[in-house]
Chains A and B, each alone.
Chain A
Amino acid sequence: MAALYEGYTLCGLVPDQNLSSSGIQGIEEERDRDHVVVTDSTRSVTLYKVSDQKPLGSWTVKQGHKLTCPAVFNSQTNEYVAVTDNKVIRIWKEDDILLDKAFKATVSSDVWKVHCTHGGEPVVLFQRGAVRLLDSLLAAPQQPIEEVLAQEEAIRWSTIIVAETQQFIIITTEQKGEHFLYLQRLNPNSVQRYRLEREEPGLSPLSFSATYRDKHICLLYLYPNGHVYQSVLSVRGLGTEEGVQALPLPRSLLLGLPVGDGQLEAASAMALDEAHVAVVGVPHPSAGGGKDFLCIWNTNFQTLQAGKEIAGKIYGQLWSYSNKVFIPHGKTLSIIPFECPKSSLASALGKLKHTKTEESKTPNSVPSWNNILHGEKAQPSKSAETRRTRTTRKSQSTTNLTTDQVLELIKTAPVEEIQKEVEGFLTRAEFQDLQPSVGQLALTLVSRSLADPAFYSSSTLAQLVHTRCLCHSVCPDLVLLALEKKDYFLCQLCLQFFPDIPEAVTCACLKAFISIPDVDAEKVSLEPDSVEFMENLITRDRAEAGLQNGFSPTSSVVNDRQTRAEDVKKKASAPSQLSCPVGLHKAVLINEILQTPYSDTFLLPHLKDLSSQHVMLFLQYLQFLYLKYSQDAFPQMEGFRSPSLSQIMDWVCLLLDAHFTVLVMTPEAKGLLLNLHRFVKSQVRLVSELGKIEGSLQELRKMKAKESIGQYSIEIIELF
């Protein structure tokens, strides 16, 4: 979610008498991100250090003169450039004290603005549309300036954009109620003229904002009716012919902002990044009128991400440098830091991290520091205890070895002997002492297996994992070793019992599981509980389908008509009869993945490595699970370890986030995506309904309070 932070004041303002303009002409970035040059609408230019909120220097022109364009900073020469009285260009350095003693040059035509990008050369834009580089202009200040714009055509807004190495000047003009856009390329010079589509008659854009991204210039403009349009201009293939005739400029509606009644007057919209737009002067949808807000909208999801009330009058001016918004309001210029993290479907939906309370079922002793610290009070888990009693009888003959002896043994002995000794050791050891020694045993076993490819003791490792005293950080190579040895049973145990498997390893497991051929998967023996759960899930469905209409569809005595009728019915209830897209054991393994804890930020990059076939298969399986779960007929099987509905939804969201573009391009995925879209929509509806309920619940509480007995009452009670 984008966020607006606590703002602070950069300086006070001297607005006009009638508060029609803020008194600020422009704010330009200076030498680095922390310095800005603020030009006021009359006579002075001030340099500020933003983080200290303090002015470092200020320059004023003499009384009677007037600054007509915002001062810019030329970082090549460390000079400031500004224009006074439309025609006089002034250039000075930071240590110049008096502006009137600085360099001046008078040009022959009125200047509209001087633009300069960081590291680039200043460009002078004349009021009649001509463009000159500052150096070439100063070489001959009185050179004739051509007229580019037609009669009665006037510049409304301009900016400079750097696209790769090219500089572009963008100008918007107005001529008899029509709006045009000029894209002027410098060096070599060429210009293209576009005509902006007409909005409702009489409406002209309130503000423009241009950004360069992905080899295109994106122009964003806001109309008084609250519509924000985006036009994309290509910087390639431009300027073969001089743009005499105006091309129509295609536009797309990016946002329809709520304007309340009436139209916007002073408002501004600015693109912050590809998905976020900052808007000022537009009423907040949930706050009443009469208040001004700075809002950040997400254009992808059309959602309001952050809002901040701005006190005082808003002038519709807005600048943004290095994650800070500069906004003049009332009598101050405020700086509001913001943050626009990359948004994902999951965060837009307001995902609720839901962890099914697994702890209650399995007393997992690994992650609890208290057990390590105060081991004497730890309760040995039941399973460990019963196993111990079960194995006591068997291992009585074995000699009682200490941890160190067992460790030595592991380094050399054959698999069978190790198995016997470890089993014996586990039976003998007190639960409290088990913690460190099990870690050591597993570590040694794994390192031997890694060193000696012929050595691998699956059952011993499984036994160690079963003690629940192991975790991933104790023995980081174990899961990968199991994957390498195709020991899926051990993988399953690890996923089940380790609380701290990193996302990369989870993803590696996922990839391995998806790519096992179904035939191989069925040979693997897995934990019976989870298999039973999946079996139930699949077969119940089949049984139901089989018994529809009271007879089995496979029965051969049905006549044609009946089968056709049944077909129709089958189609109608198609989702409920989806067959599981993966085999039973594979599904069990994938379920295990779904239930491991993860953090989506860390998981996303690894998920991107999945191939599109795998993603398709996985999504199909998730969809299958989702449909199964959402069927009312499906009873939640208590007591089984099973992924929860929200875990499934989270994974769907994650997969879509990671692979959306690929899936859109894959024709086979179309149906799947449509289905997913449908159930994402249902989730969105659920969330919005929840939002509605919140309001009514609060109302309910208020109503209850009113009903309460008040300060005093006389009642009758009866005691028996």
Chain B
Amino acid sequence: MGEFKVHRVRFFDYMPSAIRTMAFNSQTERLAVARADGAVEIFNFNDNFFQEKVIPGQDGRATEALCWVGHRLFSAGLNGEITEYDLENLRPQYTVDAYGGPIWTISSNSQGTQLAVGCEDGTVKIFAILEERIQFQRNLNRHKGRIISLCWHPSSAQIAAGMTDMIKIFDAETGHATRRLLVDRAMGASKNKEVVVWSVGYLSDHTIISGDSAGKVQIWNGLTGTLVRTYLVTKWDVLVLSVSKDESSVIAGTSEGTVIQFQFISSTVDQHDKEWVRTRTFRNHSHDVSALAHTDTAVVSGGMDTQLVVRPLLDKVEKNTQESALRKIAFPHRSLVGCAKKAGLLLFQFPDRLELWKLGESEGHVCLMYPYFVCRFLQGEDHICCSALSACGGWLAYSTVSSVRLYRIQYNNTISINKVGTLARACSRQPVHLLCASDDGKWLATANTDCEIHIYNLHKMKLHCMVPVYNSCPTTIAIHPVTNNLISVHADQQIFEFSLVQKEYTQWSRRLQAQGLLSLWLERDTPITHITFNPKNPDHIILHDTYMFCIIDQSLPFPELNAVLWNQMTLKSLPVSQRIGQSHAFKICKSFQHLMCVSLLEDLSLVVVERPLLDIMSQLPAPVRQKKFAT
């Protein structure tokens, strides 16, 4: 295949934002994750944990809590507002001020008729959930001290509220506090430091479980108001709790980065009196675990270290399958880098700004010109959804939830701005998350989260056809510049090629489906986020995920099912004459790690944008505790 010159770029200092909170919807198997910059991401657990929707954040929107009510998603934050999201248009639908100061927590009752929010001023406010909006109903009796955490009893008759130094149980009907559970402060020197109940859980047998800043997980009897068990699990804070749906297991996340599981089981065989027993400890984070979700089969956790970790419970899944593998989601499942192939420009998308860089030039290994910074586009309050750069580098477009902007860039340092109107609405219910146009400007392909791909003819300005719907969401699509075939890669790692002219899958695609992809390819846990083509050789398709990039040569045979997928080392060791027999269509290179973008420029040099996770780690604040040897 030959040699490539590679521009290895590491100056995209993308920094994911810390995970603040999350909520799991077990009906739809969707996980909503809120980050510290206000962005909300929706992951589909039925489809390889694909991040199907991203609602960009906004300055000043600090989301503290998320809550699903059926298909509706609510959030509340320290700006004192309750927000409902429009999951079709990916923007906040409306916000309601609770007039109680910063909101720490939000919780809905099991029928989905009422929302309770806990405010800084010590009130628990109940809102009625109506069609299309929510309406303030009443306050529960006010108490001094902020309400940090809330949990409804499954019968919706009581609410447990975690405060400083105590937990209060309110009667949801009358609004009176019926019980007050005093939480012990930490032992020793910090005795005069008040203890904050960061999280409470309320089970149907009236057991209350609390996690607090003194590092305790406590089990209370909510009927009598007595303490049943105390587990001291950390020297620092227990920040979050999550109860499984069948109420047999509770997980607690701590500042140390550990997640500790408690299970409701009988301690000896043949006894029926069950109790809460500390069972497992997971250590997948280096920093605070501030968000947790307990799904039926896995523990999902996230926190300061910005990674979302899905840790399957090995007693609930089949061992040694893809299902039982630990997953870490570190990067967004979409491309944040734009590349102007002709001009050698890179566009980096940050939540609040865009940066345009010019690549360097070189003669072999010798760098003649270093890359330099061209310009920066600062965006105001609303964060950027997506951005694109034209191949010539002369046009730049980006959008926020409210507007689309188009810039004309001329390289004598003057920049003129043109704003264009919104395009006609596409005929789909779900939001379009992928868009691509063919190089000749004739075709436009869109993909939405219902897994549909539509093709439009831009010359005639009408729908050309629809690609047969596959049951996994496309993670990236591209139209081949020469053959006008649409390549789509899906969350389950399948690759399809669809001929726009013949409106059918190509022979190559059919052959690939018939033979099947190797399991090593299918078991990769990051999606393909970008596809480019080789302008000199139409057989080459270049695609990448976080850990590798791959050049698919359509002229070569597919690997046999028992063949080695990563065969570059073997090929290297063989003499040239024997290479032909051994090589197959997938040329995989793993020498660059944690890829944000791989693209092929006009002059056939590769651009590789890396963002090593270690660099991200090193920018995080110091963790509270580091493990050393066996301490």
Contact = CB atoms under 8 A, between A and B. Distances in A.
Interface of A: 5-8, 51, 337, 352-353, 368-374, 377, 435-436, 439-440, 471, 473-474, 690, 694, 709-720
Contacts of A712: 7-11, 360, 370-371
B237 to A, nearest CB: 16
Nearest to A52: B192
Given A369-B277, A370-B315, A714-B6, A719 B551 contact: yes
Contacts of B316: 374, 377
Contacts of A714: 5-8, 360, 362, 365, 367
Interface in B570-593: 571-572, 579, 583, 587, 589, 591
Contacts of B321: none
Interface in B484-514: none
Contacts of A5: 188-189
Nearest to A51: B191
Contact of A719 (B269, B270, B370, B568): B568
A719 B2 contact: yes
B364 interface: yes
A236 to B, nearest CB: 41
Nearest to A335: B189
Interface string B256-300: 000000010110111000000101000000000000000000000
A715 B371 CA distance: 14
Interface string B363-374: 011010011000
A337 B188 contact: yes
B8 A720 contact: no
A716 B5 contact: yes
Given A717-B606, A718-B2, A720-B1, 14 more contacts: A5-B188, A353-B630, A371-B315, A377-B315, A436-B270, A712-B11, A714-B7, A714-B8, A715-B5, A715-B8, A716-B3, A718-B3, A719-B1, A719-B587
B411 interface: no
Nearest to B605: A714
Contacts of B2: 718-719
Contact of B265 (A7, A369, A439, A473): A369
List of 3 A-B pairs having minimum Cβ-Cβ separation, nearest first:
A370-B315, A720-B571, A714-B362
Contacts of B268: 473-474
A713 B362 CA distance: 10
A439 B1 contact: no
A36 B2 CA distance: 83
Contacts of A440: 270
Nearest to A470: B269
Contacts of B579: 720
A32 B571 CA distance: 81
Contacts of A377: 315-316
Interface string B212-254: 0000000000000000000000000000000000001000000
A245 to B, nearest CB: 51
A51 B362 CA distance: 70
17 contacts: A5-B188, A6-B189, A51-B191, A368-B315, A369-B265, A369-B279, A373-B263, A709-B10, A711-B11, A712-B7, A713-B367, A714-B365, A715-B8, A716-B365, A719-B587, A719-B589, A720-B587
B190 interface: yes
Given A717-B4, A720-B571, A474 B269 contact: yes
Nearest to B591: A717
A292 B43 CA distance: 53
Nearest to A438: B269
A694 B631 CA distance: 14
> Looking at B269, B364, B551, B583, which has the most chain A CB atoms within 10 Å of its CB?
B269
Contact of B6 (A6, A471, A710, A716): A716
Contact of A337 (B189, B266, B589): B189
A8 B10 CA distance: 46
Nearest to B313: A370
Given A715-B8, A719-B568, A6 B362 contact: no
Contacts of A436: 269-270
Contacts of B5: 714-716
A51 B185 CA distance: 14
A332 to B, nearest CB: 15
A439 B270 contact: yes
Nearest to B366: A714
Nearest to B618: A705
> Looking at A5, A337, A377, A435, which has the most chain B CB atoms within 10 Å of its CB?
A377
Contacts of B364: 716
Contacts of B188: 5-6, 337
B467 to A, nearest CB: 30
B374 to A, nearest CB: 15
Contacts of B265: 369, 372-373
A40 B269 CA distance: 64
A6 B190 contact: yes
A5 B235 CA distance: 12
A545 to B, nearest CB: 38
A372 B266 contact: yes
A313 B314 CA distance: 56
Contacts of B10: 709-712
A693 B290 CA distance: 35
A65 B16 CA distance: 68
A718 B606 CA distance: 12
> Looking at B315, B362, B591, which has the most chain A CB atoms within 10 Å of its CB?
B315
A473 B360 CA distance: 71
A440 B1 CA distance: 70
Nearest to A709: B8
B8 A713 contact: yes
A717 B589 contact: yes
Contacts of A337: 188-189
B260 to A, nearest CB: 14
A719 B371 contact: no
A7 B269 contact: no
Interface in B162-190: 188-190
Contacts of B587: 719-720
Nearest to B569: A720
Contacts of B315: 368, 370-371, 373-374, 377
Contacts of A371: 315
B357 to A, nearest CB: 10
Interface string B358-394: 0010101101001100000000000000000000000
B341 to A, nearest CB: 17
A695 to B, nearest CB: 12
B273 to A, nearest CB: 14
A600 to B, nearest CB: 15
Contacts of A715: 5-6, 8, 365
Interface in B338-365: 360, 362, 364-365
Interface string B577-615: 001000100010101000000000000001000000000
A716 B270 contact: no
A352 B1 contact: no
Contacts of A439: 269-270
